[in-house]
Every structure is written in C-alpha cells, then in structure tokens.
Amino acid sequence: MVQEIPPHDKVAILVGGGPSLIWHVEEIQRGQARGHIVFAQNGAAQFLVHRGIVPDYQVIVDARPGTADLVCLAARKHLFCSHCDPQTINKSICSTTLFHPNVEGIDDIVPPASEQECLFIGGSWTVGLVNMALAFGLGYRTMRLFGYDSSVQMVDMNPETGRYSITKHHAYPQKLTEK
C-alpha cells in the first residue's frame, strides 16, 4: 500500500492524456532529464514510451476490465487503485503498489491497518485529481501538469468557413472513451 512520505524538494511531472499533450513532449523530456519524476495517467504512459520517455509511475484508477489494455509494462512502477480490475493489477504485479480511494464507506470495506498505516487517496474517481493527491502524499509539493485537458474534446476552427469541428478527446487513440 502507498505510504505517506514527508515533503521534499523533488518535482513531479503529472501527465494526462489530453490532446494538448502532443505540444509538451520535449518539455517533459527536459524535465525528466533534470531529475523530475514522471507520473503518467492511463494510456499517457504508453504515449510517452513511444516518444522515448519512460514514466517513473503509471497511475490507473478506472475499474473497468478494459483498463488492463492501458497497462504500460515499460513504466518503472505502477500505482493502481485497489478497486481496479484484477486483470489490470495482475498485468504488472511485480511493480504495482495499490492505494485505497478516500471515499465514503471505505472504512466499512478496508479493515484498519495492522502493521503499517496506508495512505487513503482523495480525488474521487478522476485519475487527474487522484494523481495530484498521490504525488502530494508521496511528498511532492511542486507539480507540473501536462495533458490535463483529457477527455475534453479538442475543437478546431476552419479559417475558410469559420466553422468549428471536434477533432479528438486524447493525444492518442483511446478506445475506452471513444463513442
């Protein structure tokens, strides 16, 4: 289980899969080269790996079985919510640390820790918010966020017609949220 770490001076780079991510790959590379720690959400981990960036952590909250397809085995470590589908958790079992969501009723499900205290993570079911809470619990006080427009449709305007069109939800194909 994730355990709290006292505050420190390291920098966390939090990476969502929003369409704006494509504009920040070089900035993320430079940050990682300076020693910043990369937390990639869901499919953003695989997106980064294909561009030469190995995430230090992949964070997954989604409980759907199809989420197992998002697991990036190249990520150094995996932080998965304890309610994730077993296929997701088992795909990277050797490098996975679980965390419990800090939601109403969790005390009825999770017994009190016997040997060590675990950190309950807020942010509800939104991976971007959970990622921020995880980084904070792991002692990061400086966080740089990229691709946090995830699941928001990118809108482009055609200058010739003046009409707007929706282009995509993510910086990469994301079957779980496509319609």
The whole-number pLDDT of residue 38 equals: 98
142-169 pLDDT, tens digit per residue, is 999 999 885 555 556 567 776 555 555 6
Phi, then psi, of 73 in degrees rounded to 5 = -65, -20
Q: Residue 20 and residue 16: Cα distance in Å, rounded?
A: 9
Identify which of 75, 39, 65, 56 has the alpha carbon closest to the alpha carbon of residue 175: 65
pTM of the model: 0.82
DSSP H or E stretch at residue 14:
strand 11-15
DSSP state of 69: G
The answer to whether 100 touches 4, Cβ cutoff 8 Å, is no
97-129 pLDDT, tens digit per residue, is 888 887 777 777 776 654 456 777 877 778 999
The answer to whether 158 touches 26, Cβ cutoff 8 Å, is no
Q: Residue 21 and residue 119: Cα distance in Å, rounded?
A: 29
